Amino acid sequence: MISILLVDDHPAICFALKVLLEKQGDMVVTTSSGEKLLAQLHQQRPELLILDLELRHADGLDLLPRIKQHFPNLKILVFTSQPAGIFALRTLQAGAQGFINKNMPLENVEPLCRLIMAGYQCFPEGTLYKTAMVSEKSDAPETLLGRFSDREIVVLNYLKQGRSNKEIADLLMLSNKTISTYKVRMLQKCGCDNLNQLISLIFGEGDHEHT
């Protein structure tokens, strides 16, 4: 039996994916919202972790290096609504073995799990050389994000969700001043005047209200 821990704070997705995977008969799936994830991993010791990047209690990209530090042999499949062009390579560098976007059919998750358990890496086509391909287009989101550290990406994600500096500081166990510094640094790197402009440039979205 393959033991799987599915970390996603959307109950409907957890239920549907658990049913789909366990239907095969050789997989057993435990679900989690991601709260106190490291403690849960120590307790359950799954063979495969299916991890969403956007969680209420933590950021998956921020968690990945810590998970791999504690559990270097744990296989990790990132399962997220975040765009692959921006996040797939970073999750690979952070220690994940696979990446699938939530806009893909749920049925695609099970074969990826099997490939990862068999020792393969499963990332969207182009993940490894996308950075080189877009380097000529200096205003491409992937190129702009290439200037950011992983921690800056994590902070940007929280800002995109509308979280305040204090909320982000508490989640990442940093000071408000540090979060402000990250924000200023990201604006400078992209030549943006404000956060709305930055988020629109990176994610192609507008009409955000942030503090």
Tokens at residue 85, please? 């062009």
CA distance 115 to 118: 5
Residue with tokens 């403690």: 39
Tokens at residue 178, please? 């540090």
Q: Count of alpha carbons within 13 Å of 118, Cβ hemisphere only?
A: 8
User: Does the pLDDT at position 136 exceed 60?
Assistant: no
- Nearest alpha carbon to residue 6 among 37, 24, 25: 37
Res 143: pLDDT: 63
What are the helix (H) ranges across 45-175? 60-70, 84-93, 109-117, 130-134, 141-145, 150-160, 165-172
CA distance 106 to 101: 10
pLDDT-derived band at 47, boundaries 50, 70, 90 = very high
Residue range 50-80, pLDDT digits in tens:
999 888 777 888 889 889 999 999 999 999 9
CA distance 16 to 28: 14
| Element at 49 (helix H, strand E) | strand 48-51
pLDDT-derived band at 129, boundaries 50, 70, 90 = low
Cβ atoms of 77 and 97 within 8 Å: the answer is yes
Which amino acid is located at 151 in the chain? Answer: R
> Residues of the chain with pLDDT > 90: what percent?
33
Cβ atoms of 60 and 88 within 8 Å: the answer is no
Residue range 138-163, pLDDT digits in tens:
455 566 667 788 788 888 888 888 88
Domains assigned to the chain: 2-128 (3.40.50.2300), 134-203 (1.10.10.10)
Res 161: pLDDT: 84
Mean pLDDT, the chain, whole residue set: 84
Res 155: pLDDT: 87
Res 135: pLDDT: 44
Instruction: Kindly report the pTM of this predicted structure.
Output: 0.70
Q: Which phi and psi angles does 144 have, rounded to 5°?
A: -60, -45
Residue range 172-204, pLDDT digits in tens:
888 888 888 888 888 888 888 888 888 888 777
Task: Return the DSSP state at 182.
Answer: H
Residue range 83-93, pLDDT digits in tens:
887 788 889 88
Query: Radius of gyration over alpha carbons of the chain, in Å?
Result: 17
CA distance 190 to 146: 11
